[in-house]
Amino acid sequence: MIEVKGLRKSFTLGKRRKTRTVEAVRGVDLSVAEGEIFGFLGPNGAGKTTTARILCTLLEPDDGHAVIAGADLRKDPAAVRTKVGYVPQGGTTTDEVTAREELVLQARMYGMHKTEAVQRTEEALASFELTEFADRQCRTYSGGQRRRVDIAMGIIHRPKVLFLDEPTTGLDPQSRAHLWDEVRRLRDAGMTVFLTTHYLEEADALCDRIAIIDHGEIVALGTPTELKHGVAGDVVTVGLNGDGPRAAELLTGRDYVHNLELGDDGLRLYVDDGATAMPQIMRALDGGDIHFDTVELHRPSLDDVFLIKTGRSLRDK
């Protein structure tokens, strides 16, 4: 449904003399199947929005090719527009108008006649549970309600592919769960959903497949389970009281520790086999006279995948 090859985009900032080039997207390749929820996971500034905007025809790529729902992005952007829906990161509802007015306008911008636009609006309002306040000005809506209006606008023309840029940022857990259900419902109705997020839970729970993007490059791609299994072995976390740096020094270079990450409240150790590594770790710490509070064994999470691939944690933001 979406085929992307070698996508690149850089921005030039600053005035004549002091120009600086930001390479926002640096050769992205990906392929999204019909009817899947594809997650684009990455930290701030990774290039998620830029990629989504390119694929929705809003930005021209510097290089690369993409075919979306059979339409070539560069040769026929007009065809792409009729096949994709886009819900931008910030949302775009206008305070002074009602949800109904927004939806009718959006439908008409897609070229629908008035009667058809009104009817589609009615359907969209009902399916996103917006009918109740459809005639109130958008300024009176909650964050979750606004977001639902945004998404309803994005699908008013029944696109084959929907791009959602950080759909749940700033929502409370309940609205987020509600929105996830909406997105799943769209997928079950046959829509392909491309969503960006910097929430690990969201990528894990909602997405069928994930690409992890960092500094404009995809560093990992697969189903959440594949990605987690791709991290060899187990994770051992050790809760330490301020002795972190000393413990890290002590454990660095031991053959049963592949990788080690020092956090605020302790250490995260990547090991082949947790059952044999745990006693060794405890013995080493005892030997170094380091007091520890807890030692726990985990299966790797998406954050661990991110950490291994980029050397940074996504969570500490």
Ligand X SMILES: Nc1ncnc2c1ncn2[C@@H]1O[C@H](COP(=O)(O)OP(=O)(O)OP(=O)(O)O)[C@@H](O)[C@H]1O
Could you say which residues in the range 89-118 bind Mg ion, by CB under 5 A? 89
| Cα–Cα distance measured from residue 302 to residue 244, given in angstroms and rounded to the nearest whole number | 23
Q: Would you give the end-to-end CA distance of the chain in angstroms?
A: 33
Cα distances (Å, whole numbers) of residue 42 to 74, 86, 97, 195, 290: 26, 19, 34, 11, 35
Each residue 102-141 as x (binds ligand X by CB under 6 A) or -, in order, gives: ----------------------------------------
Minimum Å gap between C-beta 210 and ligand X is: 14
Minimum Å gap between C-beta 116 and ligand X is: 34
Q: What's at 293, amino acid-wise?
A: D
Q: Which of 57, 30, 50, 69 is nearest to 192 (CA)?
A: 69
Each residue 110-129 as x (binds another protein by CB under 8 A) or -, in order, gives: xx------------------
Could you say which residues in the range 164-223 bind ligand X, by CB under 6 A? 198
Tokens coding 255? 């053959």
268 lines the binding site for ligand X (CB under 6 A): no
191 lines the binding site for another protein (CB under 8 A): no
Candidates 51, 106, 121, 145; binder of another protein (CB under 8 A) is: 106
Could you say which residues in the range 26-55 bind Mg ion, by CB under 5 A? 48-49
Q: H helices within 56-142, ranges in order?
A: 77-83, 99-109, 114-127
Closer residue to another protein (CB): 107 or 267? 107
Three-state secondary-structure class, residue 267: strand
Tokens coding 199? 């929430």
Query: Which phi and psi angles does 2 have, rounded to 5°?
Result: -125, 125
89 lines the binding site for ligand X (CB under 6 A): yes
Query: Which phi and psi angles does 221 have, rounded to 5°?
Result: -150, 130
Q: Binding segment for ligand X among 38-46, 175-183, 199-207, 248-256 (CB under 6 A)?
A: 38-46
Angle (nearest 5°) at CA 53 between 214 and 70? 105
56 lines the binding site for another protein (CB under 8 A): yes
Q: Binding segment for ligand X among 43-51, 112-120, 290-298, 308-316 (CB under 6 A)?
A: 43-51
**Nearest-10 Cα torsion for 66, 70, 71, 74:** 20
Site size toward ligand X, by CB under 6 A: 14
168 lines the binding site for Mg ion (CB under 5 A): no
Candidates 42, 91, 244, 300; binder of ligand X (CB under 6 A) is: 42
85 lines the binding site for another protein (CB under 8 A): yes
HSE at residue 125, side-chain half, CA atoms within 13 A, is 21
Q: Which of 77, 301, 82 is nearest to 201 (CA)?
A: 301
Residues in contact with another protein by CB under 8 A are 56-60, 77-78, 81-82, 84-86, 88, 90-92, 94, 96-97, 101, 105-106, 108-111, 137, 153, 157
Residues in contact with ligand X by CB under 6 A are 11, 13, 22, 24, 42, 44-50, 89, 198
